[in-house]
Amino acid sequence: MKTLAENPLLALRWLLLLGMAVIFTAANSYFPAAGNIFALGESFALLGLVALGLALTILAGEFDLSGGAMVAVSGLIMLKCGADNAVLGLLAALAFGGLVGLFNGIVTLKLGVSSLVTTLGVMILLSGFAVWLEGGQAINFENYDLTDAFNMDWFGVLSPRSVITIVLFVVTGLMLAFTRMGRDIIAAGSHRKAAGMAGADVRGAVVTTFVLSGLFAALAGALLAITLGRASSTFGANLLLQGASAAILGGVALSGGVGRPFGVAIGVLVLAVLNNGLGLIGASSPAILLLNGGVLLIAVLAGGAPATWLRARLA
Amino acid sequence: MSAATLSRTSGFGGLFAPARVQATVIQIATVVMFLAACAFIENFASASNISSILYAASTVGIAAVGLASVTISGNLFALSLGSTAAFASIVYIAASGWGVLPALAASVALGLVFGLLQGLVVGWLRCNAIISTIAAGSLIAGLATWVSDGRTVLAEGGPSWLGSGTLIPGVPWQAVLFLLIVIVGEVLMQRTRAGWELRLRGTNPDAAELAGLRVTRMVVLSYVLAGAGAAIAGALIAAQSGTGNLRVGADLDFSAIAAMLVGGVAIGGGRGRIIDVASGTLFLAVLTNILLVNNFAYEVQLMVKGLAVLVAVTAGALLARKKR
């Protein structure tokens, strides 16, 4: 009861996750099978990287709206530049993601305006750029060996993508907990003025979160393109909203400075399990939309006045 | 900033005060761009082209005016406008047998209810504004899919006056409705107690609450207005095309946010006026139309729109800084 009193959201997302796992297992015996865990890992990898980057910017007191559109653009760059040499394509996609992140960070700080505004402009720009790159047709990847390599499974359940994503979650978590940069990022999101006066490198921290957000989103897009063997400007359409939902569900406070990558990972898992399970039991599309909304509503209520009331009663 | 925000802008100096300079520049730019396009682009000034600009501007603009009340009151933005518009388009077509005004009223009623519910969740239950509206967007889309069975609803009979009628050639009734909503919104926001309280809530939520303003009611009101605006936008799109479906308003959320920001409404709340929303909307609509009549592709239009947001915001920030 103690954790529930301290942080109802924390307990709630575990409850949601375990509850859904039990229900879906009961409803469809394929749910806990290795093949499905593998598929879950794939959705975790895609949404996870976008949510992790977005969560970093929120931690630093900003908000990167451009992550979803970046997934589409970077996938297209990956296949356009990587048709002959996949490493070149991956580097081009990552370089583009990092540069756009750098631009987001520097422009936001230089202008002293909200990053919601600057990254909205970049988001619209990127979605236009994606359609332009695509040139009217989805692009296919001819390097079947690489696609196959990325679709192999380790121990039946892990894919290269999910392993890369898990590693990045761990590294980001360690960075936030144990490095000076991590402390600066959290300080920048908690009380920026005070952090700057206390000697934290606030500007460096904010720019770093945008660069990482761009890099993570670009990596998510490039890996998606390799795995599927094709890229399209419509990839990433819902990722921004889902990523934001996952981050908040994972305990990241929109006001900045509060949240951990581990929580974000749980938030991503909740959404991934929900949609995977609903797909398995053949839920209708209104049911999927309503349940997604319902889960978010529960999460949002757990962060509002009802939770404060509950906390007061339990304490 | 708050003094400049709240005092009525008067005279030339007021127009270029730090809090107003971006809005003024965009208003001038819109007029200059419009006149230049009339002079240099063939057929731009034709009645049919002007009316196509106004059709595009009216729907996005009405949604953006409603949204602006949420932004100005300090809750950033709502992400449920697109699905509200989609549901409203389905209701409008389904009710169109009763006549244009009852159908419009039915759609608006739907928007009011959805807005009220979101307002209660954000204002009264104090839940996170962004995630509440994402959740609402998903729930509304789910309901709309369930009600319509995922199908497109077709209107019976011919086009209505609201869909394709014009006051004078080049000025559709939809644009007249947009103008009326802007005037009512501007007066409500600038000249009434509710408008003052709403803006003060955005300038400083804590101070507004401590000062005893009706903060909760204002937040609820702002979401009710946003829901109504989105619903009217959806009904207008449905009236234009004679169809209602789930794709109506697909990019309404971010188009409305972009229009509002370009016009000079501050995302952080408290700063900006309803006429700014109208000028931002017209600016983007004229710009998009110029690209369209010059045969630029959809992707170029999108990229230019993104650049316009960045340039407008950059210019606004730099000009405001120079003044300080």
Q: In this structure, is residue B26 part of a structural domain?
A: no
List chain A residues with CB under 8 Å of B76: 116
Please answer yes or no on whether A286 and B135 come within 8 Å at the CB atom.
no
Predicted confidence at residue A29, as pLDDT, reads: 86
pLDDT band at B2 (very low <50, low <70, confident <90, very high): very low
Q: How far apart are the CA of B316 and the nearest CA of chain A, in angstroms?
A: 9
Please give the average per-residue pLDDT across B306-314, as a whole number: 89
For B109, the domain range is 53-317
Q: Number of folded domains in chain A?
A: 1
Q: In this structure, is residue B8 part of a structural domain?
A: no
Please give the average per-residue pLDDT across B15-39, as a whole number: 91
Q: How far apart are the CA of A244 and the nearest CA of chain B, in angstroms?
A: 8
Q: In this structure, is residue B46 part of a structural domain?
A: no
State the pTM of this model. 0.91
Neighbour-count burial of B40, counting CB atoms closer than 10 A to its CB (0-12 exposed, 13-18 middle, 19+ buried):
exposed
Lowest mean pLDDT among A139-148, B29-38, B67-76: A139-148
List chain B residues with CB under 8 Å of A296: 131, 134-135, 138
Closest residue in B to A254 (Cα–Cα): B128
Q: Identify the top-confidence range among A6-20, B103-117, B140-154.
A: B103-117
A278: left (phi over 0), alpha (psi -120 to 50) or beta: alpha
List chain A residues with CB under 8 Å of B250: none
Predicted confidence at residue A262, as pLDDT, reads: 94
Decide the pairing of beta strands B243-244 and B166-168: unpaired
Closest residue in B to A113 (Cα–Cα): B317
Predicted confidence at residue B6, as pLDDT, reads: 45
In total, chain A counts a number of residues equal to: 315
Tokens of B18: 């730090």
Q: In this structure, is residue B35 part of a structural domain?
A: no
Predicted confidence at residue B1, as pLDDT, reads: 41
Mean pLDDT of chain B: 91
Please answer yes or no on whether B313 and A117 come within 8 Å at the CB atom.
yes
Predicted confidence at residue B186, as pLDDT, reads: 97
Q: In this structure, is residue B47 part of a structural domain?
A: no
Q: What string of DSSP letters covers B286-306? A: HHHHHHHHTT--HHHHHHHHH
Q: In this structure, is residue B4 part of a structural domain?
A: no
pLDDT band at B13 (very low <50, low <70, confident <90, very high): low
Supply the CATH number for residue A273's domain. 1.10.3470
Q: How far is CA A143 from the centre of its chain?
A: 27
For A17, the domain range is 2-314
**Could you report the per-residue pLDDT of A126-185, keeping only the tens digit for each?**
999 999 999 877 788 888 888 888 888 788 788 899 999 999 999 999 999 999 999 999
Q: In this structure, is residue B134 part of a structural domain?
A: yes
DSSP state of B153: E
Exposure string of A173-193, with b = 16+ CB inside 10 Å and e = fewer, is: bebbeeeebbbbbbbbbbebe
Predicted confidence at residue B107, as pLDDT, reads: 97
Q: Identify the top-confidence range among A144-148, A150-154, B146-150, B231-235.
A: B231-235
Supply the CATH number for residue B282's domain. 1.10.3470
Of A120, A254, A290, the CB nearest to B128: A254
The end-to-end CA distance of chain B, in Å, is: 10
Tokens of A264: 């974000």
CA–CA separation, B76 and B63 (whole Å): 15
Interface mutation target, options A297, A298, A308, chain B, most CBs of B under 10 Å = A297
Please answer yes or no on whether B127 and A290 come within 8 Å at the CB atom.
no
Please answer yes or no on whether A125 and B313 come within 8 Å at the CB atom.
no
Q: How far apart are the CA of B258 and the nearest CA of chain A, in angstroms?
A: 8
Q: In this structure, is residue B156 part of a structural domain?
A: yes
pLDDT at A231 over 70: yes
Predicted confidence at residue A2, as pLDDT, reads: 45
Q: Count CA atoms closer than 13 A to B124's CA, side-chain side.
A: 10
Q: Number of folded domains in chain B?
A: 1
Please give the average per-residue pLDDT across B266-275, as a whole number: 91
Please give the average per-residue pLDDT across B171-189, as a whole number: 96
List chain A residues with CB under 8 Å of B77: 116
